[in-house]
Amino acid sequence: MTALPQGKLRKTHHFALNVKDLQASRHFYGTILGLHELTGAEVPETLVELVKQGRISNFVTPDGWVLDLFWEPDLSPPNPDPEQQFTRANHLAFDIAPDAFDEAVQVLQANQVAIAQGPVTRPTGRGIYFYDPDGFLLEIRCDPEN
């Protein structure tokens, strides 16, 4: 056997980001983007000690996968210009209902989040690209309105 058969991988389990300022990132993902931060008994048993030490925070997305934020206080991007993509990852996209898209844009603007591009309208829907506190590119997108 040289490959997993199609369908063996069941779902996305988690996505992990290294962050320089854990409190700023917690505020960004929890308060500005409104993701639910796992606390208390919600924290996976394997991560409880790291959470207690303040080295990691975990958020869950509306569709159930986990975003892990690992505190790396000495982290610096290879390039201070966030438009220079510094990993093989391009961006992380969050889906939103079309009637809530403009509200999301207003929230980003009100919080002075750095916008990379947009809002843009394409045949696939609308999107806005922006940076988290560490310069990682994110997108909020919606399907076209019918």
Read off the pLDDT of residues 37-96 as tens digits, 9 standing for 90 and up. 999 999 988 888 999 999 999 999 988 988 999 898 887 766 777 676 666 567 888 999
CA-CA distance, 142 to 43, in Å (whole number)? 30
Q: Give 1-31 pLDDT, tens digit per residue.
A: 577 688 876 777 788 888 989 999 999 999 9
pTM of the model: 0.78
Q: What is the CB-side half-sphere exposure of residue 106 using CA atoms within 13 A? A: 5
Q: Sheet holding 137-142: strands in order across?
A: 92-95, 137-142, 125-131, 115-122
Instruction: Specify the pLDDT at position 27.
Output: 97
Q: What is the pLDDT of residue 88?
A: 59
The CB density around residue 121, as the number of other CB atoms within 10 Å, is 10
Confidence at residue 9, expressed as pLDDT on a 0 to 100 scale:
65
Residue 108 main-chain phi, psi, to 5 deg: -60, -45
